[in-house]
Amino acid sequence: MDMVMLHLNQIIIPPGQYLWLQDINWKTFEIILDQLNETRKFRLAYCNNILEIMSPLPWHEDSKNIIADFIKIAIEEMGLEFRALGSTTFKHPSTGKAIEPDECFYIEHEALIRGKARINLTQEPPPDLVLEIDYSSHTHLHIYQVIGVPEVWRYVDDALLIYVLQDGCYMRVETSLHFPHLNMCAAIPKFLIQSRVQGRSSAIKAFRSWIKHSNHV
């Protein structure tokens, strides 16, 4: 039987759908990453020789962008430096795992990666905070656990779930490590829903006002 070879650009994944490729070793995974261009619209996750490719829905991307804006505002109002690195590919070769978050932030460790064009987890720390939107995807907590991400936010069914790494395992908590004085689990869904009704700019303005008030309480 003749072997059929497909190029990556021949594969079409409709929004909200997945493609799984099995028996993909690390070397092949690296080759696939090199062949993919920077403008691709899908997310990758790699674990146990299985490559997962997900194409997000517009609803997914909209929620990600607005929640990421809320996080940026909260950090800025705290007067901290940060870097938002989007869906950067984080690879952990020694365990054969890799992940691309919906959005990620360096806050406490921002100075350690400041000005760097690439992040190497054997030399630099993982992101301090990761955001995942679970409309058309599912969060790979086990990969973030191996990488050592201190805090992961999951937005699912109009609820914000916060997980913090404790003794090597994720525990669900009600308060963020990074915003201990703010009730983000209540605020994020409230202002995100407001953005869908009144518009993004209105919700952003209201969220910033809430942050300023909370910081002075």
pLDDT tens per residue, range 81-91: 999 999 999 99
Q: By residue range, what is the domain housing residue 125?
A: 57-215
| Single-letter amino acid code for the residue at 187 | A
Asked if the structure places residue 124 within a domain, the reply is yes
- Whether residue 93 lies inside any domain: the answer is yes
For residue range 26-75, list pLDDT tens digits in order.
999 998 888 776 556 788 999 999 999 888 888 888 999 999 999 999 99
Number of domains in the chain: 1
Q: Is residue 194 part of a domain?
A: yes
17 or 108, which is more confident: 108
Can you give the CATH number for the domain in which 98 is found? 3.90.1570
**Torsion angle (degrees, nearest 10) of CA 79, 112, 163, 142:** 160
Percent of the chain residues past pLDDT 70, beyond the cut = 92
Q: Is the per-residue pLDDT at 177 higher than 50?
A: yes
Under a CB-based contact definition with an 8 Å cutoff, are residues 82 and 105 in contact?
Answer: yes
Maximum distance among all alpha carbons in the chain? 72
Does pLDDT of 96 surpass 50? yes
The model's pTM is: 0.90
Residues forming a β-bridge with 166: 169
Residue 188 lies in a domain: yes
38 part of a folded domain: no
Question: Which one is predicted more confidently, 59 or 179?
Answer: 179
Question: Can you tell me the distance from the alpha carbon of 126 to that of 105, in angstroms, rounded to the nearest whole number?
Answer: 9
CB 74 within 8 A of CB 168: no
Would you state the pLDDT for residue 1?
47
Does residue 7 fall inside a structural domain?
no
- pLDDT of 110 reads 96
| 111 in any annotated domain | yes
Q: Give a yes or no: residue 103 inside a domain.
A: yes
pLDDT of amino acid 214: 86
More confident residue, 92 or 14: 92
Predicted confidence (pLDDT) at residue 149 exceeds the cutoff of 70: yes
Residue 17 confidence class, pLDDT cut points 50, 70, 90: confident
Which of 5-14, 66-75, 157-166, 184-193 is least confident? 5-14
pLDDT classification of 136: cutoffs 50, 70, 90? low
SS3 107: coil
Average pLDDT, rounded, for the chain = 89
